[in-house]
Amino acid sequence: MKKRVILEASEVARLVEKLAADTAGDGKNLEGLAVVGVHNRGVPLAKRLVAAISKRWNVEPELGSLDITLYRDDLSDVASQPQVRGTEINFDISGKRVVLVDDVLYTGRTARAAISELIDFGRPGRIELAVLVDRGHHELPIAADYVAKKIETTPSQMVEVHLKEVDGRDEVLLIGDN
Amino acid sequence: MNWTRRHLLGLYDLSAEEINTILDTAASFKEVSTRSIKKVPPLRGRVVANLFFEPSTRTRISFELAASRLSADVVNFEKVTSSAVKGETLKDTARNIERMGVDIVVVRHSAPGAPHRLAEVLDASVINAGDGPHEHPTQALLDIFTMREHKDRLEGLTVAIVGDIAHSRVARSNIWGLQKLGAKVILVGPSTLVPGGFRELGVEVTHSLDEVIERCDVINMLRIQLERQEGGLFPSLREYSRMFGLNRERVSKAKEDVLIMHPGPMNRGVEITPQVADGPHSVILEQVENGLAVRMAAMYLVTRGR
């Protein structure tokens, strides 16, 4: 399968800064902000957003992580045997503006599961979605509030985000033909 | 790791890796009980049948609650209200219940191997909730889970199991599980209840708690079955308590961070004094809480096994 690097480390860094700024409303929308990463790569991404926001505007948003394994809609598939990795929401989400963070928005099913799981922890004031890459082909009426980069793809292609914390380097790959 | 088992019948058959997978999964499920909505959806639409041919309120309730927290539906089947008293065989009973669309059968039976026989004839997953004196895997798993939470690792720990080892499924499951994870097991009790033959399993056997108590990281006190005394297996409860009961004085000779465990229900004043049961070393109520997480993990994993 053909693999092509479409975003290099420096571009990923720039996009993370942009996503942090959008999430923070350029410093004007920080009240009650909580940033929650979705396993796997949403978790380090959420950490980077929080670090960038607190560095630039000197406030520390709440940080959490969600493992949506138990909320997936394909749990009964023969092939799926997912490991449960644990969810950490160590703060009260009631009334907060919770920004869910994931690396790629594709079908929207992960976001759907993340919303279902999140509201089992309480009643946030708002739930928003921030993604590094929106590659299209959504299968649910779900859109991201903050998108660092839109990428045109065909359904057979795959987009892989690599992050230093998980993969050893920062880059975005497009896999498949065209 | 890739979990492949459709049943949880005992710890004897499990590898260290499989035991660790259950414990890791249980750690994730423990968090669910801290949420404002204490329920997750993975077993939505599945049915769990509790088949208890021996009475046990708390184990049954623990399984029932664990199933509810995974969004499964639960039916309870107890011997007193069942056809078992009318002479129906175990196999027929289970097959009948399975036909109602049951996905997981949790079974407790006085006959060793009863869950294993059911696993052979049913399409449903079978979880052993205690088969005679043979195994009680979820109890041992929750014991080990609790030890791991406090001591981080099992390897190198010294665990004493005290009481009626000969008749105890909890002891057997603990022995298999603890040894696989690298802990050292000491069995303690009168020779009538702890026969020396247990040494063949690679454990230490002693008839004096005082001799070994200083070396123990964990002391797991088993319930002494009062009817055993009538069988002449020990002279009197007072004598048993004096030799093998945990009291403050005895605990003061143990390590400062010793964990005291008991699978319940306790005979306060016999195998354990109230001061020790409610004292700083006791993790007895944590065991109950961890039992829920371990049973959630077991039910989740057996439905994933292929």
Residue A82 is given by DSSP the state P
Structural element, H or E, at residue B129? strand B125-131
* Closest chain B C-alpha to A92 CA, distance in angstroms: 10
pLDDT of A145-165, one tens digit each?
Answer: 999 999 999 999 999 999 999
CA-to-CA separations, B255 to B194, B219, B258, B279, B286, in angstroms, rounded: 24, 11, 5, 14, 20
pLDDT band at A93 (very low <50, low <70, confident <90, very high): very high
Residue A81 has pLDDT above 60, yes or no: no
Dihedrals φ, ψ of B69, to 5°? -70, -15
| Residue numbers of B annotated as active site | 58-59, 86, 108, 136
Q: Which residue has the higher pLDDT, B79 or A11?
A: A11
**Alpha-carbon torsion (B93, B297, B20, B172), positive or negative:** negative
Percent of chain A with pLDDT over 70: 95
- pTM (predicted TM-score): 0.89
Neighboring chain A residues of B3 at a CB cutoff of 8 Å: 81
Q: Are residues A122 and B27, on separate chains, in Cβ contact within 8 Å?
A: no
CB-based contact B220:B174 (threshold 8 Å): yes
Instruction: Please give the pLDDT value at position B225.
Output: 79
Q: How far is CA A122 from the centre of its chain?
A: 20
Q: In whole angstroms, what is the distance from residue A127 CA to residue B104 CA?
A: 36
**Cβ contacts of B67 within 8 Å, gap of 6 or more:** B43, B48, B73, B74, B104, B299
Q: Are residues A87 and B306, on separate chains, in Cβ contact within 8 Å?
A: no
Interface mutation target, options A70, A109, A117, chain B, most CBs of B under 10 Å: A70
Instruction: Please give the pLDDT value at position A78.
Output: 42
Interface mutation target, options A84, A90, A91, chain B, most CBs of B under 10 Å: A84
- Interface size between A and B, measured as CB pairs under 8 A: 37
Q: Which amino acid is at B145?
A: F
Residue A21 has pLDDT above 60, yes or no: yes
Residues across chain A: 178
Q: Are residues A81 and B304, on separate chains, in Cβ contact within 8 Å?
A: yes
Q: Are residues A71 and B40, on separate chains, in Cβ contact within 8 Å?
A: yes
* Closest chain B C-alpha to A120 CA, distance in angstroms: 5
Neighboring chain A residues of B28 at a CB cutoff of 8 Å: 67, 84-87
Instruction: Please give the pLDDT value at position B94.
Output: 85
Instruction: Please give the pLDDT value at position A79.
Output: 44
| Chain A residues bordering chain B (beta-carbon distance below 8 Å) | 67, 69-71, 75, 78, 81, 83-88, 116-117, 120-122
Q: In whole angstroms, what is the distance from residue B181 CA to residue B81 CA?
A: 41
Q: List, as one string, the DSSP characters of A116-170.
A: HHHTTS---SEEEEEEEEE----SSS---SEEEEE----TT-EEEEE-HHHHSS-
Q: In whole angstroms, what is the distance from residue A141 CA to residue B150 CA?
A: 46
Query: With a cut of 0.90, is the ipTM above it?
Result: no
Instruction: Please give the pLDDT value at position A76.
Output: 56
* Closest chain A C-alpha to B161 CA, distance in angstroms: 32
Burial (0-12, 13-18, 19+ Cβ within 10 Å), B206: middle
Q: What is the mean pLDDT of residues A135-142?
A: 96
pLDDT of B23-71, one tens digit each?
Answer: 999 999 999 988 888 999 999 999 999 999 988 889 999 999 999 999 9
Look at residues B113, B121, B183, B188 and name the one whose alpha carbon lies nearest to residue B155: B183
The closest CB to that of B36, out of A69, A116, A122, belongs to: A122
Q: Are residues B3 and A86, on separate chains, in Cβ contact within 8 Å?
A: no
Closest residue of chain A to B40, computed from CA coordinates: A70
Q: Are residues B28 and A75, on separate chains, in Cβ contact within 8 Å?
A: no
Q: In whole angstroms, what is the distance from residue B257 CA to residue B173 CA?
A: 24
What is the mean pLDDT of each successive set of 10 residues along chain B, which is 306 residues long?
A: 92 97 94 89 95 90 97 86 67 88 95 95 96 97 98 97 95 98 97 93 96 98 81 84 96 97 94 97 97 97 87
CB-based contact B276:B251 (threshold 8 Å): yes
Q: What is the mean pLDDT of residues A24-35?
A: 96
CB-based contact B41:B205 (threshold 8 Å): no
Terminal Cα-to-Cα distance of chain A (whole angstroms): 11
Interface mutation target, options B3, B28, B125, B301, chain A, most CBs of A under 10 Å: B28
Instruction: Please give the pLDDT value at position A77.
Output: 53
Q: Are residues B40 and A75, on separate chains, in Cβ contact within 8 Å?
A: no
Neighboring chain A residues of B25 at a CB cutoff of 8 Å: 83-84
Instruction: Please give the pLDDT value at position B1.
Output: 76
Q: Are residues B41 and A121, on separate chains, in Cβ contact within 8 Å?
A: no
Instruction: Please give the pLDDT value at position B84.
Output: 60
